[in-house]
C-alpha cells in the first residue's frame, strides 16, 4: 500500500521550502507524514531527528561497529523479527563495518502521466527536478543511504564516484545500500565508505521516478523503516528496529566475553570441545565462567564510561 500511495512524493517535498537542506525540507511524503513515522515507530526509546526518524545515539552507533551478523540475528530471532537481513550484495569494502541510521529512498519505473504531474507540482514549489540528488542533498551525519531501486541494473545507478564521495562527506562515512546499481566502481573503491549494491553499470540513472523519501521501503526480503540501525559486514546487512538496539549490544558484549573465555580454556589444552562449548558441563567450570563474565562485563562498562 505504501508503494501505491508514494507516487505523491512530490507533494511532501513541495510542502517544504525549496532549499532541501534546511530542516523544513525534511517534511515527509504526503502519504507518510512525520506523525505517521512517529506512530509506526512508537516503540522507539530514543530521541528523534527533526524529520521524525528515531535517533539511535552516536555512542551506540560507535559501539555497534563491533557487532557481527550472528550477534544481531540471535536477538532478532528471539523477538520473532525474522525478516531483517538482506544479502546477495557486492560489498565494496568487505573488511569495513557499516553502521548508521537508515535514510530511505524509493524509486519506481517511470510512468509518464504520473511522472509529468509530479514534476509539474515540484516546479510550482521551486524544485526544478525530482532526482536522486533531491534525496542525497537531505542526508545528515550518521545516516546510511538505503535505496529501493527495484533491482534495476541499466539506468539503475544511484551514484557514481562523485556523488558517492558527497554521500561520504554528508554522512561522515555512514554508507550506502542500494537494491540497484552503481557506476564508476574503480572510483568508488578509492573512497573510504562502505557500500552495498546489486550490480555495476556504466549508464547514468534514468527511466525511473523518485516516489518516496523516508518512507518504509523493501530491500530484498526486508521492510526497512526510516531510522532503523543499519549494520553491514562482509556477509550482508541487518536493519535493526531502534527498540532492540540496546539489547543487541548488551547481548553482543556477553557473546564476546563468552568467546574470549572459551578460547582461553581451549588454549589450556585440557578440555574437549563439548566440555566447554557452548556451555560448560562441569559445575565448577560453569561457576568459573559466570565469575569471569561478571568481571569482564564490569571492566567493559567502566571502560566505556571513562571515554
Same-domain status, 251 and 235: no
Residue 160 and residue 281 in one domain: no
Final residue of a structural domain among 217, 241, 265: 241
Please check whether residues 124 and 252 belong to one and the same domain: no
Cα 132–chain centre separation: 18
Domain endpoint, select from 222, 241, 260: 241
Which tens digit of pLDDT belongs to each residue from 105-158?
A: 999 999 999 888 888 888 887 878 889 999 999 999 999 999 999 999 999 999
Contact predicate 175/144, CB 8 Å: yes
Q: What is the pLDDT of residue 25?
A: 37
Residues 206 and 277 in one domain: no
pLDDT at 103: 97
Verify that 11 and 126 share a domain, yes or no: yes
Give the strand pairing for 195-200 and 90-91: antiparallel
Q: Per-residue pLDDT averaged across 217-221, rounded?
A: 97
Structurally, the chain folds into a number of domains equal to: 2
Q: Please indicate, yes or no, whether residues 216 and 288 belong to a single structural domain of this protein.
A: no
What percent of the chain is predicted at pLDDT more than 70? 90
pLDDT band of 32, cuts 50, 70, 90: confident
Q: Which domain does 251 fall in, by range?
A: 246-305
Taking residues 172-188, report their average pLDDT: 98
Residues 255 and 133 reside in one and the same domain? no
Q: Looking at 241, 272, 288, which one is the last position of a domain? A: 241
CA distance 218 to 64: 23
Which long-range contacts (C-beta less than 8 Å, at least 24 apart) are formed by 80-85? 81/241, 81/244, 83/221, 83/222, 83/223, 84/222, 84/238, 84/239, 84/240, 84/241, 85/221, 85/222, 85/236, 85/237, 85/238, 85/239
Tell me the pLDDT band of 70, cut-offs 50, 70 and 90.
Answer: confident
Amino acid at each position: 500500500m505504501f508503494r501505491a500511495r508514494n507516487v505523491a512524493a512530490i507533494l511532501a517535498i513541495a510542502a517544504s521550502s525549496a532549499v532541501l537542506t534546511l530542516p523544513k525540507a525534511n517534511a515527509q511524503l504526503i502519504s507518510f507524514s512525520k506523525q505517521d513515522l512517529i506512530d509506526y515507530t512508537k516503540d522507539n526509546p530514543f530521541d528523534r531527528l527533526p524529520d521524525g526518524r528515531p535517533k539511535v545515539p552516536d555512542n551506540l552507533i560507535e559501539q555497534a561497529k563491533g557487532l557481527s551478523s550472528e550477534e544481531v540475528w540471535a536477538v532478532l530471532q528471539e523477538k520473532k523479527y525474522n525478516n531483517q537481513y538482506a544479502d546477495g550484495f557486492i560489498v565494496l569494502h568487505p573488511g569495513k563495518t557499516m553502521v548508521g541510521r537508515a535514510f530511505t529512498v524509493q524509486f519506481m519505473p517511470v510512468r509518464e502521466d504520473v511522472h509529468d504531474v509530479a514534476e509539474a507540482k515540484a516546479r510550482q514549489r521551486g524544485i526544478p527536478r525530482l532526482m536522486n540528488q533531491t534525496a542525497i542533498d537531505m542526508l545528515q551525519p550518521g545516516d546510511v543511504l538505503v535505496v529501493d531501486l527495484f533491482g534495476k541494473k541499466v539506468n539503475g545507478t544511484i551514484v557514481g564516484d562523485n556523488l558517492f564521495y558527497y554521500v561520504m562527506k554528508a554522512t561522515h562515512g555512514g554508507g550506502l545500500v542500494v537494491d540497484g546499481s552503481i557506476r564508476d566502481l574503480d572510483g568508488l573503491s578509492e573512497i573510504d565508505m562502505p557500500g552495498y549494491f546489486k550490480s555495476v553499470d556504466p549508464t547514468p540513472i534514468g527511466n525511473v521516478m523518485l516516489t518516496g523519501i523516508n518512507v518504509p521501503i523493501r530491500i530484498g526480503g526486508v521492510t526497512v523503516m526510516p531510522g532503523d540501525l543499519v549494520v553491514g559486514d562482509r556477509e550482508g546487512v541487518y536493519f535493526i528496529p531502534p527498540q532492540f538496539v540496546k539489547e543487541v549490544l548488551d547481548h553482543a558484549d556477553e557473546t564476546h566475553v563468552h568467546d574470549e573465555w572459551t578460547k582461553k580454556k581451549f588454549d589450556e589444552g585440557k578440555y574437549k570441545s563439548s566440555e566447554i562449548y557452548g556451555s560448560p558441563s562441569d559445575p565448577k567450570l560453569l561457576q568459573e565462567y559466570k565469575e569471569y563474565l561478571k568481571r569482564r562485563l564490569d571492566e567493559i562498562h567502566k571502560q566505556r564510561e571513562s571515554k
